[in-house]
Each structure stands twice: as structure tokens, then as C-alpha cells.
Amino acid sequence: MKKRCFWATESKLYQEYHDHEWGKPVYDDETLFEFLFLETFQAGLSWITILNKRENFRKAFDNFNYKLIANYGEDKFLELLKNDGIIRNRLKVRAATTNAQLFMEIQVEFGSFSKFIWDYVGGKPILNRFKSRDEVPATTELSDRISKDLKKRGFKFVGSTIIYAFMQATGMVNDHTIDCFKYAS
């Protein structure tokens, strides 16, 4: 039996996510936007709630196409608020459009969102060596800095905890515990 991180034992969905996505370095803007999008909707909720609704989000939000989301108008906003397959928080739904617009502004300024975000870690993952859940932080000085920068640019739902979860998900930090089979991969 595979030894996984402490949080990836509750469900098959968590295990699949852990084994195939979480902590794997992501450099393409489309996937980075998807993770940023999902993390912002996760604010205040459990990650399993988001994973369970991920495909509903994908359908409702045009396959996480930030170029389309950036241009959503009032009709689309109202349509999304009626979709019980997603998180229908008015502020988060509005933030999806704002964040997509700002994501594209960063692309213009830096050439890609990937370049912007990965520059924070020198282009390669930070390899942590945590032994237990008690050692894994919810935030770091770096997630504080990135959060502050994104908020200054106008992004919504990008607090330090959300940004650290984004960093973990996209492999900017390797927070697999050292006893996890994914740690060294």
C-alpha cells in the first residue's frame, strides 16, 4: 500500500488528486489560472468541496478559459448564480471575472503569469522536508508577500492561506511529507 500525505487518505478523489496533480510543478498559464480560480473559490471551505464541484466549475466557467471569463457580463453572472453545481457566492463569482482580467494584465507586464509567479521561487520548487502534519504551515513569509502583491494589483480572495495552498497545488513548494511516496518524485 502506498504511503501518502496525511490529508490524502479520506477519499479516492483526494488520493487521485494527490497522486497525479498536487505538488507537481505547473508552468503553463492555463493550468495556473485553473488552480488560482479553484483556490479562490475554496476560501472558507474545504478542498474536497471544491474537488467535488471541479467539473461543474469547468462546465460553468468555459473550461476555466480566463480570456472568456474576463469578459463575462451581467447575464453570465446571473446565470452562474443560478447554477447549483458550483459555489454561488456572489463575491467569488464576481471575483472570477476581476481576477481573470488582472491575470491577463500580469501576462502583458511579465510575458506570462507563469514567469511572474515562478520568479518568486527562482523558477524552481522549494523542497521542504516536513515529517508530519504539524510541521506543514498554512502560510509563510513568501505566501504573505505574494498575497500582498496580488491584492495590491486588485485580485480578490487571495489571502496568504489561499496563496500558500496555490503554491502547494502548483508545485512551487513541495510539501509532500518525507514519508509520502510522492516526496522524491
Residue 122, in any domain of the structure? yes
The enclosing H or E element of 118 equals helix 113-118
Of 90, 89, 86, 28, nearest to 62 (Cα)?
86
Asked if residue 14 belongs to a domain, the reply is no
Catalytic option among 21, 27, 30, 47: 47
- Predicted TM-score of the model (pTM): 0.96
Is 39 part of the annotated catalytic residue set? yes
The per-residue pLDDT string of the chain (185 residues; one tens digit each, 9 = 90 and over) reads: 789 998 987 789 999 999 999 999 999 999 999 999 999 999 999 999 999 999 999 999 999 999 999 999 999 999 999 999 999 999 999 999 999 999 999 999 999 999 999 999 999 999 999 998 899 999 999 999 999 999 999 999 999 999 999 999 999 999 999 999 999 76
Cα 50 from chain centre:
11
Domain-embedded: residue 5: no
In terms of residue numbers, what domain contains 75? 27-174
| CATH number of the domain within which 158 lies | 1.10.340.30
In the block, cell 496555490 appears at 166
The total domain count for the chain is 1
Report the DSSP beta bridge partners of residue 174: 127
Q: 7, 17, 27, 120: which is the annotated catalytic residue? A: 17
Domain membership of residue 1 (yes or no) is: no
